[in-house]
């Protein structure tokens, strides 16, 4: 939700509807031409052509395997066009620079003990993404409202935790997994439907904690916080104090207790950025059940999942998450390999244009669906979608007023262009979301 920016998390919302139909995802066809019905309705705003076949982790994937017009699939072309771009593997990109710096920290402090994976395929099974990390069957994150489904048993991973179990089973005990992850989410400067996470995982054997006199869980929790505080110091060059958790200097941080289905205890680390607490990572001590199922019966472990964009925004002073996807040379030329923390100089700030839209909602209305419609029409020209008014009348009808902020990061938008976009948004909101415009 744009309204509760800091605490927006995949694992803390209420339940939503699920669709279950069995359709396999076992074979990939070769290049098939686009079907015209799947093309965006307003070709004028469609700037990037969608390629038809890409290769992910050695597997050839055709567009029509991922974007299909059937009820078990909710992947739009805007999302397909991001698959395979792998921003985290570009050494000159802020995300690649940050990833490499974190890798350096682990290599130096743990004598190269952490195995690194940054090319694992983002198309995973429901089992990998949810079941293997103990996400309950009725958990909101499994809903079509929150996750991109390729078919009923296959999703675009919504977190890098999807790879924990398989790597444990393969015998890895110290690993880092970096990759693009996908979520149907709200629209604002710190949320994007595709972003990048780095997962960290460390398994301990009994001799490691027994010598300390602590129980395994307390030992792992303490080690986890020490590791991440050390990482924060490595990235920000500052000291972190626990209780009260506070960083001296430019960046303030704090630990917050939270809940994840796969860790206990669980924590989040927040950084004070642009006058708000920004959540940058989730972590905790791994549930025993996950270790037990994957051949690590007598061990304890910790895990973390950090949002690379959020950290990079703070480190490089990047004000808007959409910038990471920009091909504009005025953005890309500002960063070089190995240069962490170069401050981004905004090349220009073009004026925003606000359009308000009020409608009577139906029971099935969700903000994520609205954002998907807006994103499908306006792409990265939409900066924020926020609920500015909400009331229920005597007849029990609920009205929402949303403000859509349009702003390009690269040029000034014309009135005509914005009016066209807004007109299409109004049309599609009415026809696709089952609401009544006011």
Binding site for Mg ion (CB under 5 A): 9, 282
- By beta carbon distance, the residue nearest ligand FA5 is 307
Output 44 or 276, the one with its CB closest to ligand FA5.
276
Residues 149-168, one symbol each (x = binds ligand FA5 by CB under 6 A, - = not), give: ----------x-x-------
Q: Does 368 bind ligand FA5 (CB under 6 A)?
A: no
> 286 and 302 in contact (C-beta within 8 Å)?
yes
Of the candidate residues 283, 357, 374, 421, the single one contacting ligand FA5 (CB under 6 A): 283
Under the binding rule (CB under 6 A), the answer on residue 305 touching ligand FA5 is yes
CA atoms within 13 A on the CB side of 229: 17
Q: State both tokens at 1.
A: 């939700």
Percentages helix, strand, coil for the chain (3-state, rounded to 5) are 30, 25, 40
Select from 271, 248, 270 the least CA-distant residue to 317: 271
Q: Work out whether 281 is an interface residue with ligand FA5 (CB under 6 A).
A: yes
Using the rule CB under 6 A, give the single segment among 7-15, 26-34, 237-245, 351-359 that binds ligand FA5: 7-15
Residues 317/344, Cβ–Cβ less than 8 Å = yes
Rule CB under 6 A: say whether 304 interacts with ligand FA5.
yes
Could you tell me if 122 and 157 are in contact, meaning their C-beta atoms sit under 8 angstroms apart? yes
Q: Counting contacts by CB under 6 A, is residue 284 touching ligand FA5?
A: yes
Segment near ligand FA5 (CB under 6 A); pick from 281-289, 377-385, 392-400, 414-422: 281-289
* Residue 318 contact among ligand FA5, Mg ion, none, beta carbon within 5 to 8 Å by kind: none
Q: What distance separates the 2 farthest-apart alpha carbons in the chain?
A: 70
Q: Is 282 in the site for ligand FA5 (CB under 6 A)?
A: yes
Do residues 183 and 10 lie in contact, with contact meaning Cβ atoms separated by under 8 Å? yes
Nearest residue (CB) to Mg ion, 204 versus 277: 277
Tokens of 108: 């130096």
* 3-state secondary structure (DSSP) of residue 242: coil
Structure tokens at 190: 């710190």
Task: Tell me the backbone φ, ψ of residue 118, rounded to 5 degrees.
Answer: -135, 20
- Sign for the pseudo-dihedral over CA of 98, 100, 103, 108: negative
Contact 119, 89 (CB under 8 A): yes
In the bound state with Mg ion, the residue whose beta carbon lies nearer, of 129 and 154, is: 129
Q: Does 307 bind ligand FA5 (CB under 6 A)?
A: yes
| 122 touches ligand FA5 (CB under 6 A) | no
Q: How far is the CB of 267 from Mg ion (least distance, A)?
A: 10
* Among 197, 294, 408, 422, interactor with ligand FA5 by CB under 6 A: 197
What is the per-residue DSSP string for 166-187? HHHHTT-SEEEEEEEEE-----
Q: Between 385 and 418, whose beta carbon lies closer to ligand FA5?
A: 385
- DSSP tag of 191: B
Comparing CB distances to ligand FA5, the nearer of 340 and 371 is: 371
Cβ atoms of 132 and 124 closer than 8 Å: no
379 binds ligand FA5 (CB under 6 A): no
Those residues whose C-beta lies under 8 Å from the C-beta of residue 105, and which sit 6 or more positions away, are 230, 231, 234, 235
Shortest separation between residue 32's beta carbon and ligand FA5, angstroms: 31
Could you tell me whether strands 353-360 and 436-437 are parallel, antiparallel, or unpaired per DSSP bridges?
A: antiparallel
Residue choice 132, 279, 287, 372 for contact with ligand FA5 (CB under 6 A): 279
User: Which residue shows structure tokens 């924990």?
Assistant: 164
9 lines the binding site for ligand FA5 (CB under 6 A)? yes
Taking CB within 5 to 8 Å according to partner kind, which of ligand FA5, Mg ion, none is near residue 233? Answer: none
Q: Which residues contact 218 (CB under 8 A, 6 or more apart)?
A: none
In angstroms, give the least distance from the CB of 43 to ligand FA5.
Answer: 28
Closer to ligand FA5 by CB, 15 or 30: give it: 15
Identify what 65 binds: Mg ion, ligand FA5, none; CB under 5 to 8 Å per kind. Answer: none
Q: What is the CA radius of gyration of the chain?
A: 22
Q: Which of 149, 195, 236, 402 binds ligand FA5 (CB under 6 A)?
A: 195
Per rule CB under 6 A, is residue 10 in the interface with ligand FA5? yes
Nearer to Mg ion, 7 or 60 (CB): 7
Q: Which residues contact ligand FA5 by CB under 6 A?
A: 9-11, 159, 161, 183, 185, 191-192, 195, 197, 199, 260, 262-263, 279-284, 303-305, 307, 309-310
């Amino acid at each position: 939700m744009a309204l509760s920016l800091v605490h927006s998390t995949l694992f803390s919302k209420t339940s939503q509807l699920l669709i279950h139909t069995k359709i396999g995802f076992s074979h990939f066809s070769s290049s098939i031409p686009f079907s015209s019905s799947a093309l965006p309705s307003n070709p004028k705003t469609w700037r990037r052509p969608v390629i038809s076949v890409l290769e992910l982790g050695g597997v050839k994937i055709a567009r029509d395997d991922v974007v299909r017009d059937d009820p078990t699939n909710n992947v739009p072309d805007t999302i397909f066009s991001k698959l395979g771009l792998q921003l985290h593997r570009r050494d000159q990109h802020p995300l690649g620079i940050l990833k490499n710096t974190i890798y350096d920290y682990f290599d130096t402090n743990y004598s190269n003990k952490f195995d690194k994976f940054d090319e694992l395929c983002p198309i995973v099974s429901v089992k990998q993404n949810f079941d293997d990390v103990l996400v309950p069957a009725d958990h909101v994150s499994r809903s079509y409202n929150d996750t991109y489904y390729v078919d009923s048993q296959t999703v675009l991973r919504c977190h890098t935790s999807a790879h924990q179990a398989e790597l444990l089973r393969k015998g890895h005990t110290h690993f880092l997994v970096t990759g693009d992850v996908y979520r149907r989410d709200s629209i604002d400067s710190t949320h994007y439907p595709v972003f990048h996470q780095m997962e960290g995982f460390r398994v301990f054997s009994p001799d490691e904690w027994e010598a300390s006199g602590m129980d395994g869980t307390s030992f792992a929790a303490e080690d986890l916080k020490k590791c991440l505080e050390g990482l924060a110091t490595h990235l920000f060059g500052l000291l972190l104090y626990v209780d009260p958790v506070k960083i001296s200097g430019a960046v303030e941080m704090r630990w917050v207790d939270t809940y994840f289905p796969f860790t206990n205890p669980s924590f989040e680390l927040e950084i004070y950025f642009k006058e708000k607490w920004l959540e940058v990572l989730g972590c905790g001590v791994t549930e025993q059940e996950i270790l037990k199922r994957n051949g690590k019966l007598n061990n304890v472990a910790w895990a973390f999942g950090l949002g690379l964009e959020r950290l990079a925004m703070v480190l490089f002073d990047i004000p808007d998450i959409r910038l990471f996807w920009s091909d504009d040379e005025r953005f890309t030329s500002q960063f070089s390999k190995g240069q962490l923390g170069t401050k981004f100089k905004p090349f220009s700030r073009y004026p925003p244009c606000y359009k308000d839209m009020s409608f009577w909602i139906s029971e099935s209305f969700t903000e994520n669906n609205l954002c998907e419609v807006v994103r499908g029409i306006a792409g990265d020209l939409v900066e924020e979608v926020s609920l500015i008014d909400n009331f229920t009348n005597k007849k029990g009808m609920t009205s929402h007023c949303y403000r859509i902020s349009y702003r390009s990061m690269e040029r000034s938008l014309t009135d005509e262009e914005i009016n066209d976009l807004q007109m299409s948004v109004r049309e599609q909101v009415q026809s696709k979301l089952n609401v009544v415009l006011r």
